[in-house]
Amino acid sequence: MILRSLIALVVWASVTYVTDGASMLSKDTIARVNQINAALSARTGKSVLVITGTAAGAHTDANSLVAASRSSAAVVYIAGTHVQIGLSPEVRRFFSPAVTGRIGGDLSRSVRSGQADAGTVDAVGEIADRIAGGASGGHGPAPARVIAAQERWNYSGSDGSWLWWILGFIGVLVLIRVAFARRTEPRAGAPS
């Protein structure tokens, strides 16, 4: 029953991006989250939903909420002081576990200290920036020419490292030659 009501909230939230079931977010925060999502949606077609609930819903899985919403790339789920970040499979590759852990930890500390508004805006902003930036870390996708050149460089064997091996081998040969070369000058006191 709780999951069904949360899915209904997610469907409603897909229009407003925020479902504040616990009444912990101010109207300004909700407006700011909606602004961030409007910009993200215009740029990528994706969104970050924010759902708050009571501590009784702390066992709900945020990833199942993402799957149920179908239109969002991420869900920030806050139940009491418990925080979860759910990511859709298409954007999960932009987030290492360390990044989601840090974002979730910062948001959790903000909620516990009574600053849920600031923490929520920061978390949604950072998630939206990563989604919009993609794998490039926020600098936009690399041009196709650059990607093609990198692939040729990486996979054709023409990365130039072989040159250093050859130069090193020649250097070793020269050192060995110098060390064991016969001396052509007669030594002082040696019979000629």
Supply 143's token pair: 């041009």
DSSP-derived secondary structure for 148-178: HHHHHHHHSS-SSHHHHHHHHHHHHHHHHHH
pLDDT band at 100 (very low <50, low <70, confident <90, very high): confident
Q: If you average pLDDT over residues 132-148, what whole number do you get?
A: 60
Q: Is the pLDDT of residue 173 over 80?
A: yes
Average pLDDT of the chain? 76
- How far, rounded to the nearest angstrom, does the alpha carbon of residue 8 sit from its chain's CA centroid? 29
Q: 55 vs 18, which has greater pLDDT?
A: 18
Q: What pLDDT is stored for residue 53 in this prediction?
A: 82
Q: Report how far residue 46's alpha carbon sits from residue 118's, in angstroms, rounded to the nearest whole number.
A: 22
Are 60 and 79 in contact by the 8 Å Cβ rule? The answer is yes
Q: Is the pLDDT of residue 178 over 80?
A: yes
3-state secondary structure of 80: coil
Q: What pLDDT is stored for residue 168 in this prediction?
A: 93
Q: Which of 78, 26, 85 is nearest to 57 (CA)?
A: 78
Pairing of strands 18-20, 74-79: unpaired
Q: What pLDDT is stored for residue 171 in this prediction?
A: 95
Are 84 and 101 in contact by the 8 Å Cβ rule? The answer is no
Q: 75 vs 143, which has greater pLDDT?
A: 75
pLDDT digits (tens, 9 = 90+) for 9-38: 554 444 578 888 888 889 998 899 999 988
Can you give 18-77 as a three-state secondary structure string? EEECCCCCCHHHHHHHHHHHHHHHHHHCCCEEEEEECHHHCCCCHHHHHHHHCCCCEEEE
Q: What pLDDT is stored for residue 167 in this prediction?
A: 92
Q: If you average pLDDT over residues 91-120, what whole number do you get?
A: 88
Q: Is the pLDDT of residue 169 over 90?
A: yes
pLDDT digits (tens, 9 = 90+) for 73-90: 788 888 877 888 888 888
